Amino acid sequence: MGKTAKIISLFLLIGLMLLSGFLAFADSSMNNTISSYDINVRINSDGSLDITDKVNFTSLGSYNNTMLLIDNQENEEIEIKNVYMLQKDGYIECERFAEGEWTANVFSGSYSVIQETGNIKLKVYGTFSKRYGSIVVQYKVKNAIKRYKDVAEYRRTHVFKNWGSRISNINISVYLPSYTDPALIRPYLHGVLVGKKNTESRRVVHFNIPDTVPGEYIEAGIIFPQDLVYKAEYKERKDHLEQILREEAEYSESDKEELLRARENAAKEAGRRAWAEKMTQRARAIAASMSILASLLGIYTIWRIYKKLHQLKKTPVPLNFNGIEHLSPAEVRLVISNSKIGARAVLGNLFCLASRGYLIPRVIEQESGRPVIVLDRSGQLNDESLSQSDLYLLDVVMRYTDEEGHFNPSYLLKKTEQKSSGKDIKESFHKWEQLVTRAYFEKNALDTGLLFYRNTGLIYGAILFLFGCIVPVSLSIWSGYSMLIVGLTLFLYTLRIRRHTDYGISKYRLWKEMKKRLLKRQIALDGLPQWMTRPFSFLGYSLALGTETELVLFEAALKNEKIDFQPCHGTESLGRCVKETLSVLDRALSSVRDIL
């Protein structure tokens, strides 16, 4: 595995841990736990039950459905009468839909009933929120009471063993059909270790269970006089009390190992959840502080680089530019235009080469009738004074000459319409730009200290940006975003560090000032360095600086050198001609930039 692959794998691993691990932590407590479960049962004299279940869920915020299991024993018939769900303006009645009737409106409050062995599954669909996670179900159970010769028995499972989450505050109230002697009412409760049962008002039996955990269940039972359900059919016409009492005694004496294990598991699970919650909180706190620290460190790095870059005090711009360092028009363009080279730099350098005798500029008319400057190769041989980029540019120019041997921007534009030649043009000029950039970078070299800061800034900026995208998703939103902003700023700042070096800034100020003075006509030819005063050289730098609209000095230079370059009629036409040439070349070079 290569180094890069290792770095990527490491980063991916950390990212995945952050995303999947902490998201899992974050959601570990999001099961459908029930905060209160009130069950109201009315036993009718025909042995049927009218039951109302009211369930308050604690965390239905991200769910659009919930489920309730209803005990359905042999020979019982269950009829769901009403289902309500709590909404902002109170309870709304849900509509029942059958399989195959699924519509987009189900989530506006509906329910379905699925028959399973031993129970029915009631699914309620709707828009739940954390504040309004409550449902009420009213249903009737026929043939629910077992009537025997001596007693009648109410026995129902209200919470199933396989209910996968914790339920708190379970209150079951069972109303007998009529008053009777409390001594004849014998309630029992199975499936939980802790729970109270009491009889009230000679008729009502209350079961209160503080909570259940997965693995526990609630089976509530009551033995009462059978004549209270005088309309119900007998299950068996024999005495049954003794058997019930025997079973009850067996249950009481059993070790209840399963229930103990369920509690133990629940305690472990609660411990795990508490640990996970604690870890999440801790991870969030750590991530938030780490993000802030990382952002501050990023800001500090920017400040350090800034201080390092601006150690020298500003030097005043000279009144005349005679002694300034020689840069090519392309380098000047690089300095003043945020590293964009483009057509101005190409044409600028070409005119400079013309001023040195390697090319001969001419004006010809395009097919549209507009004049354009073309360049011909002179007989002058290349010599050692030519830079690598100039040599390469001359070579490129010669590759794209038209039938008459001119380097014609219009011809180049035509060539860009073909994909293959367009790609060649893009690559050729891109390579030239690389050579120019390299030459400039050699002049504007970074010292060891700056190089360290540049590399640190780039790597640290990229890492901050990437973590700034991951951390807000998994852990801490706002402090995470601060890393994203700081990271991107640091990355871009250090990427363009050469603009901010003393060399870069001094050159920028110098050439900006020259541009200003040229545009305001505040400078004469003798105020310029000698390598700029030759006519086409001046034109080249004017193009690089973007001052080609001010060609008075160019005309003066032409006069000085006694060169006859009046393409059409006067300076205005010359300006238009230069503008047209630049425009055509710019279109040609720009249009190939997106070729892949």
Map the footprint of another protein across residues 412-431, applying CB under 8 A: 416-419, 422, 430
Q: Does 7 bind another protein (CB under 8 A)?
A: yes
Q: Does 595 bind another protein (CB under 8 A)?
A: yes
Q: Are 577 and 373 in contact (CB under 8 A)?
A: yes
Identify the residue among 32, 212, 328, 410 touching another protein (CB under 8 A): 32
Number of residues that bind another protein (CB under 8 A): 76
Q: Does 286 bind another protein (CB under 8 A)?
A: no
Length of the chain: 596
Map the footprint of another protein across residues 387-416, applying CB under 8 A: 416
Give min distance, CB of 590 to another protein, in A. Answer: 4
Identify the residue among 409, 472, 504, 540 touching another protein (CB under 8 A): 472
C-alpha to C-alpha distance for 373 and 370, rounded to whole angstroms: 10
Q: Does 556 bind another protein (CB under 8 A)?
A: no
C-alpha to C-alpha distance for 372 and 374, rounded to whole angstroms: 6
Identify the residue among 380, 434, 522, 560 touching another protein (CB under 8 A): 434
Q: Does 378 bind another protein (CB under 8 A)?
A: no
**Which distant-in-sequence residues (6+ apart) come within 8 Å of 361 by Cβ?**
351, 354, 373, 374, 375, 536, 565
Q: Does 366 bind another protein (CB under 8 A)?
A: no
Identify the residue among 74, 90, 99, 201 touching another protein (CB under 8 A): 99
Q: Are 104 and 152 in contact (CB under 8 A)?
A: no
3-state class (DSSP) for residue 485: helix
Give min distance, CB of 408 to another protein, in A. Answer: 19
How crowded is residue 329: how many other Cβ atoms within 10 Å of its Cβ? 27
Q: Which stretch binds another protein (CB under 8 A): 36-44, 321-329, 563-571, 582-590?
A: 582-590
Q: How far separated are the first and last CA of the chain, in Å rounded?
A: 30
Q: Does 102 bind another protein (CB under 8 A)?
A: yes
Give min distance, CB of 287 to another protein, in A. Answer: 14
Q: Does 133 bind another protein (CB under 8 A)?
A: no
Q: Does 346 bind another protein (CB under 8 A)?
A: no
Q: Does 69 bind another protein (CB under 8 A)?
A: no
Q: Which stretch binds another protein (CB under 8 A): 26-34, 50-58, 147-155, 380-388?
A: 26-34
Q: Does 116 bind another protein (CB under 8 A)?
A: no
Q: Does 455 bind another protein (CB under 8 A)?
A: yes
Tokens of 108: 């506006």
Q: Does 495 bind another protein (CB under 8 A)?
A: yes
Q: Does 450 bind another protein (CB under 8 A)?
A: yes
- The CA-atom distances, in angstroms, between 120 and each of 72, 107, 115, 257 are 6, 21, 5, 28
C-alpha to C-alpha distance for 592 and 153, rounded to whole angstroms: 89
Q: Which stretch binds another protein (CB under 8 A): 68-76, 255-263, 292-300, 467-475?
A: 467-475
Burial 540-555 (b: 16+ CB within 10 A, else e): bbbbbbebbebbebbb
Q: Which stretch binds another protein (CB under 8 A): 97-105, 184-192, 214-222, 524-532?
A: 97-105
Smallest Cα–Cα separation from 80: which of 98, 58, 65, 66?
A: 98
Based on CB atoms, which residue is closest to another protein, 12 or 286?
12
Q: Does 360 bind another protein (CB under 8 A)?
A: no
Backbone angles phi, psi at 188, to 5 degrees: -145, 160
Based on CB atoms, which residue is closest to another protein, 185 or 345?
345
Residue in the block written with tokens 């490491």: 10
Identify the residue among 1, 74, 90, 100 touching another protein (CB under 8 A): 100
Q: Does 114 bind another protein (CB under 8 A)?
A: no
C-alpha to C-alpha distance for 535 and 551, rounded to whole angstroms: 10
C-alpha to C-alpha distance for 409 and 430, rounded to whole angstroms: 17
Site string for another protein, 296-335 (x = CB under 8 A): ----------------------------------------
Q: Does 10 bind another protein (CB under 8 A)?
A: no
Identify the residue among 65, 138, 387, 506 touching another protein (CB under 8 A): 65
Smallest Cα–Cα separation from 501: which of 545, 453, 450?
A: 450
Burial 512-539 (b: 16+ CB within 10 A, else e): ebbbebbeeeebebebbbebbbbbbbbb
Residue in the block written with tokens 């020298």: 312
Q: Does 250 bind another protein (CB under 8 A)?
A: no
Q: Does 592 bind another protein (CB under 8 A)?
A: yes
C-alpha to C-alpha distance for 65 and 68, rounded to whole angstroms: 10
Identify the residue among 1, 90, 104, 253 touching another protein (CB under 8 A): 104
Q: Does 459 bind another protein (CB under 8 A)?
A: yes
Q: Does 368 bind another protein (CB under 8 A)?
A: no
Q: Does 338 bind another protein (CB under 8 A)?
A: no
Identify the residue among 64, 289, 320, 380 touching another protein (CB under 8 A): 64
Based on CB atoms, which residue is closest to another protein, 416 or 428?
416
Tokens of 189: 């409760």
Q: Does 339 bind another protein (CB under 8 A)?
A: yes
**Which distant-in-sequence residues (6+ apart) come within 8 Å of 490 by Cβ?**
298, 301, 302, 457, 460, 461, 464
Q: Does 504 bind another protein (CB under 8 A)?
A: no
- The CA-atom distances, in angstroms, between 172 and each of 38, 41, 209, 537 are 6, 8, 9, 99
Q: Which stretches of 44-97 are assigned E, i.e. beta strand?
A: 49-57, 65-71, 77-87, 90-93, 95-96
